Each structure stands twice: as C-alpha cells, then as structure tokens.
Amino acid sequence: MKHAVIFAHPRARSFTAAVAEAYAGAVRACGDMVEVRDLYRIGFDPCLRAEEIPGEADPAPAPDVAAERERLKDCGVFALVYPFWLNAPPAMLKGYLDRVFGFGFAFGGEGHSFNPLLGGRKLISFTSSGAPTQWVEQTGALAAEQTLFDRYFAALCGMTTLAHVHFGGVVNGASPSFVKARLGDVERTVIKHFGR
C-alpha cells in the first residue's frame, strides 16, 4: 500500500516535520510505500483561484494541482500532519485540500459534488498544539477539527478515518524525552493500523 504524508509547517526542523518523518519511517518498516508532501518545502501555492472553481464547465486543474493529483492517485492512505494555529490548521494545508482534493479528484462522481471518488481509502491525522490537550478539548477546538476533517472531509471523499492523534503541550524547547515519547506514539499508531 502507498501512503501520502501531507504536512505543513514553515520550519523544516519542527515537531510537525519530526512526526511526519516518524510516520514515514514506520510505514516503510511495515513494508509500505510513502509519498511525502512537505507543503512549505515544495512551495505549494494554497490560493484557490476563481478559474479553478467548477461552474458551467469543469475546469482543467492547474499544472501544480495536476502534478499533485498524479502523485496521490494511487495512495491508499492519506496522513495529515499539522499544528493548530489559532486552534485551526495552517492555511497552507487547508489551501492544499481545497485545490488538490477538489471536484474531479476527491469528489464529484457523475458530476455531483456529493459523490465521493476516494472510496476505500483511509485517512489518519496527527496534530499538535502548544496548549495542553485538555484545554484544546475544553475549548472545542479538537472536536471542531475532528468534525471538519475526520468526519466531513473523509465522508465527502469516501474515506474511512482510522485515527486522530493529538499531541498537546508541544512548544519550542520541549524536552528530548517528551519528543521521543511522542514519536514513539506515532510509530505505535502506524503498527496498530498497518503492521503485518
């Protein structure tokens, strides 16, 4: 099976990047293939343009979107890895989903937006916040993300959500032992769902 690891953080050496790397390494150790999409490093443009929105005629995808769709077309698992900023995903990630997972790729079968095109695929998410998990839960931020991505986005595309793992209290300067333990959590999650 092939996994797409889609992550968004402007710092190349971030906890988010470490989680994405740990996920990819654990997937490879399970014998699966990985397509890593580091959205900041590839310079993806997250701005959806008017000409990309379906209307009377279905627009052809922009070259960058077509290239991403080609990379992802045979992926059976989509792993989203991102931090919470203002208790929401980075605009980079949302823009990627808007453009790449749009009409004609993730949904829109038979010309209807309610017909998913990624049936049988899996979704798994790893998120982090500087605030403790308890606070993120109390404010409703975690539930909002789970509703938006794990339920709505997955259903729109026809995917099954496997897990949403959140790491709270992750700040610059987190101890190496804390980071190591959380990366171990990532590896255990991969083994749980994909180990053979």
What band does 22 get if pLDDT is binned at 50, 70 and 90?
very high
Question: 160: how many CB neighbours lie within 10 A of its CB?
Answer: 14
Q: What local confidence, expressed as pLDDT, does residue 46 receive?
A: 97
Helix (H, G, I), strand (E, B), or coil: what is residue 164? strand
Check pLDDT > 70 for residue 140: yes
Check pLDDT > 90 for residue 174: no
Q: What local confidence, expressed as pLDDT, does residue 55 receive?
A: 75
> What mean pLDDT is reported for the chain?
94
Q: What predicted TM-score, i.e. pTM, was given to this entire model?
A: 0.95
Query: Which range among 51-60, 105-114, 166-175 shows the weakest confidence by mean pLDDT?
Result: 51-60
The amino acid at residue 115 is N
**pLDDT tens per residue across span 110-137:** 877 789 999 999 999 999 999 999 999 9
What band does 56 get if pLDDT is binned at 50, 70 and 90?
low
**Homologous superfamily assigned to 2-194:** Flavodoxin domain (3.40.50.360)
Distance (Å, rounded) from C-alpha 118 to C-alpha 48?
21
Kindly give the interhelix angle for 91-100 and 63-72, rounded to the nearest 10 degrees: 80
